[in-house]
Amino acid sequence: ILTYHVNYGLSARKTAAIMKDIHGVSVSHQSILNYENSVALWLKPYIDYFPYELSDQFCGDETYIRVNGRWHYLFFFFDAVKKVILSYPVSPNRDTATAIRAIDEVLVKLKEIPENLQFVVDGNPIYLLAQHFFAENHISFDVKQVIGLTNEDDVSREYRPLKQIIERLNRTFKGNYRSTHGFGSEQGSVSFVTLFVAYFNFLRPHSSLEGKVPVTIPELEKLPTMPARWTALIGLAQDWIHTTVSLAFV
């Protein structure tokens, strides 16, 4: 189900039809959405607290998704070298508070804050306001804003390639999201985005990485099929949660 629905971007209804026509398994499209929500709950902590090995080149951007008939904003922050999605909040508002949250989700994944830390973003002033908020809390980084579609300033000329990388990420997400025709609830949108990030970081080979996945996990590499890798990834997430909870009570 996850391979069809997430990897290939098929709608829940088309996924249900394929499960019936090809695999002989009768399942409703609502059951698929329920399964999506359940798996996302297991995977999200694993994704968010995974010990990623990161570079020093981060970029961020927003894209639109439809939730309950209204446009919402998906904020992606991304390691442009390692091809790892680090932050992915969904918000009804394109505001400073969400920009702060998106950047904070990157910062907590860093082992330490480098002196030359910078984020490449668009010209939206919310990122400068977020930078000011963190500076007041003694966390400093530089914001490089790529303005417009043409390189009319030195910063845009230098950093547009990084901005284009995250724009390609947005297009990749839209290719998977398009068949959903939007989400009926905010929970549904967060669940789908979470599963997309899990797929992108741990399961999807990237041509820019010579056909490798961004985050290599030995337990997944040896498995021959994508459904087997999804199953193993869910198992790893469950084991991580059980271990973390157990340690909390020791």
- Tell me the three state secondary structure of residue 77: strand
Of residues 248 and 53, the one with the higher pLDDT is 53
Same domain for 62 and 175? yes
Q: pTM to 2 decimals?
A: 0.92
Confirm whether 53 is domain-assigned.
no
What CATH code is carried by the domain that includes residue 75? 3.30.420.10
| Percent of the chain residues topping a pLDDT of 90 | 69
Residue 148 has pLDDT above 70, yes or no: no
Q: Look at residue 19 in the predicted model and tell me its pLDDT.
A: 96
What confidence score (pLDDT) does residue 225 get?
A: 96
Residues 173 and 63 occupy one common structural domain: yes
Is 199 contained in some domain?
Answer: no
Strand, coil or helix: 156: helix
The answer, yes or no, to whether residue 242 has pLDDT greater than 80, is yes
| % of the chain at pLDDT higher than 70 | 96
Per the model's pLDDT, the better-predicted residue between 131 and 250 turns out to be: 131
User: What's the total number of domains in the chain?
Assistant: 2
* Claim to verify: residue 34 and residue 77 sit in the same structural domain: no
Distance (Å, rounded) from C-alpha 115 to C-alpha 103? 16
Give the pLDDT band (50/70/90) at residue 207.
confident
Please report whether residue 191 resides in a domain: no
Which of 126, 159, 179 is the endpoint of a domain?
A: 179
What type of residue is 111? Answer: K
* Range(s) of the domain holding residue 145: 58-179
Indicate whether 142 and 233 sit together in one domain: no
Helices (H), the chain: 2, 12-21, 29-49, 96-107, 126-136, 154-177, 186-198, 218-221, 226-248
* Residue-level pLDDT at 185: 84
Instruction: Name the band, by pLDDT with cuts 50, 70 and 90, for residue 152.
Output: low
Same domain, 62 and 174: yes
**In terms of domains, do 6 and 68 share one?**
no
- Residue 190 within a domain: no
Residue with structure tokens 């003694």?
A: 138
Q: Is the pLDDT of residue 250 over 70?
A: no
pLDDT the model gives residue 249: 64
Assigned domain for 126 exists:
yes
Strand partners, 87: 77
The tens digit of pLDDT for each residue in 18-31 reads 999 999 999 999 99
Distance of alpha carbon 111 from alpha carbon 95, whole angstroms? 27
Q: Is 150 in the same domain as 244?
A: no
| Beta bridge partner(s), residue 145 | 121
Cα 113 from chain centroid (whole Å): 21
In a domain? residue 112: yes
81-104 pLDDT, tens digit each: 899 999 999 999 999 999 999 999
What's the CA angle centered on 102, arms 58 and 144, to 5 degrees? 40
Residue 174 lies in a domain: yes
The mean pLDDT of the chain is 91
- Domain co-membership, 127 together with 154: yes
103 and 145, same domain (yes or no): yes
Give CA–CA dist 113/116, Å, rounded: 9
Q: Are residues 123 and 234 in the same domain?
A: no
Q: What is the pLDDT of residue 248?
A: 65
Check whether residue 158 and residue 75 sit in a common domain. Answer: yes
Q: Is 27 exposed, middle or buried (0-12, 13-18, 19+ CB in 10 A)?
A: middle
Same-domain check for residues 98 and 159: yes
The answer to whether position 221 is within a domain reads yes
